[in-house]
Amino acid sequence: MSNDHKHKIGLSTAITVCLNAMIGSGIFTAPAAIASYAGPAGILAFIFVGVAVWCLALSFARLAFLYPESGSFYTYTKVWAGHAWGIIASLSYITGLIGCMSMLTHVCSFYLSEVIPSLDLRILGGSVIILLTVFNLLGMVLSELGQKILLACTIFPLLAVIGVCIGNMQPMENIVFAPHGFNHILEVTRIVIFGFFGFECAASLFGIVDNPKKNVPLALSNSVLLVTCLYTLFVGTLLLAVPLQMLSNPTVPLSTILHFLLPQYSWLTWGIHFSILSAIIGTLHSMIWSVSVFMHSLVHRIGWIHNILELYQSSFQYKIIVITVGSLIGTTFLLFNNLDLFFSLAAVCIVASYCASIAALFFIKEEWTSGRNIITLLALATASVILFFGARGVLSVLTN
């Protein structure tokens, strides 16, 4: 028992792991959409989504404690809805992540075009996906040091932008807090949630955290609070310092806007540019790996696919799945370029899989008698709001 204890991690390390799971390059795609839909009032959406993610995170932590098995979305949904719905929930999650990665590929091509303007955006984005797929085929996953560098590349531009914008805020009398009305605040939750995806990975910490019943909920609560504050400061100061019309074009990199607005900080804006680009590429690399691993565990639960894959060695099976994931991202990237569609699709698919998973807690009597399902109900209610506006966003894009 003492040897096991030595391998446990404490609360501070657990919070770091949670932060690394949540903080991603997706936050850099949000300001343009938030500026267009809600203006500075969009910061209220971060508070709403922070509450939603906090409730969802605690619900997932409870599920991880009750069902410490691989498969997460499949396992949790299967408990109450059966095998078929477990597969559907997992495929919904994978579809949402494919949409996320396709959108990040578009954003990556925008940033790369500032460095290599002579190449077409499709060539730049397609080349990135091909290279990252090859890296994953060769087993070149990010090391622990690589993960720390990735987190640093994400946090640096967040803090740098906050610092620059605090010193360059517009006079308050020139700012219209809700230029499109307060009714648009909930609508942008489908965009804000994009920056929080990944928290569900942190819920699987029960097996490695010391005193998990106490420390895992604390780690999740504290990390969600920290991320919510960081994102709110980042987007809030940016929207208050930069004219909204400059942020309205999602194809213009954030660093380009800052360079135009603050030419005296050219060295810093270029540093932000390459840091964001590194974060996006690193995130895509990690996500291709994680989606491939998740899909590998899922396909073995589907009879006919399992029978086909059994004909090949495990290493070759994984390579087939990595190529499949890379092909899906590349195809989606080439066929669709509407970032608003990606925001909405990701919100619908991923949040729907969240809801299907936490619903398992409603079928456990002890969760009701203990009162823990109050958190689950709140998680389902807030997630349903995001799901509604995500679905409305998808319909709006498809019908226009």
Token pair in block for residue 366:
């002890």
Q: What is the pLDDT of residue 2?
A: 41
* pLDDT tens track for 121-169: 999 999 999 999 998 888 766 666 666 777 788 888 889 889 888 888 8
Asked if residue 182 lies in contact with residue 36, where contact means CB atoms within 8 angstroms, the answer is no
- What's the whole-number average pLDDT of the chain? 85
CA distance 178 to 180: 6
Asked if residue 110 lies in contact with residue 122, where contact means CB atoms within 8 angstroms, the answer is no
Give SS3 for 143: coil
Give SS3 for 209: strand
Q: Considering only CA atoms, which of 257, 260, 254 is closest in space to residue 276?
A: 254
Strand-pair partners of 47: none
Q: Considering only CA atoms, which of 274, 166, 216, 233 is closest in space to residue 58?
A: 216
Q: Which residues contact 341 (CB under 8 A, 6 or more apart)?
A: 393, 394, 397, 398
Q: Please identify which residue in the block is written with the tokens 């489908």.
A: 190
Per-residue confidence of the chain (400 residues) as pLDDT tens digits? 444 445 677 888 888 878 877 887 778 888 888 888 888 888 899 999 999 999 998 999 888 888 877 667 888 999 999 999 999 999 999 999 999 999 999 999 999 999 999 999 999 999 999 999 998 888 766 666 666 777 788 888 889 889 888 888 877 666 777 777 777 888 899 989 988 888 887 776 777 788 887 888 888 888 889 999 999 999 988 888 888 888 878 888 888 888 888 888 888 888 889 988 988 898 888 888 888 888 887 877 776 565 566 656 566 778 888 999 999 999 999 998 888 888 899 999 999 999 999 999 999 999 999 999 999 999 999 999 999 999 998 898 888 7
Q: Ramachandran region of residue 302, left (φ > 0), alpha (ψ -120 to 50) or beta?
A: beta
Instruction: Using alpha carbons only, give the angle 201, 103, 341 rounded to the nearest 5 degrees.
Output: 105
Q: What is the pLDDT of residue 34?
A: 87
Of all residues in the chain, what percent carry a pLDDT higher than 70? Answer: 91
> Domain map of the chain by residue range?
2-399
| 388 Cα distance to chain centroid | 18
Asked if residue 168 lies in contact with residue 243, where contact means CB atoms within 8 angstroms, the answer is no
* pLDDT tens track for 304-322: 565 566 656 566 778 888 9
Q: Which fold has domain 2-399?
A: Amino acid/polyamine transporter I (1.20.1740)
Please say whether the dihedral angle defined by the alpha carbons of residues 81, 85, 86 and 90, taken in this order, is positive or negative.
negative
Q: What is the pLDDT of residue 350?
A: 94
Q: What is the pLDDT of residue 315?
A: 63
Q: What is the pLDDT of residue 92?
A: 95
Q: How far apart are the first and last CA of the chain?
A: 62
Q: What is the pLDDT of residue 129?
A: 96
Asked if residue 235 lies in contact with residue 34, where contact means CB atoms within 8 angstroms, the answer is yes
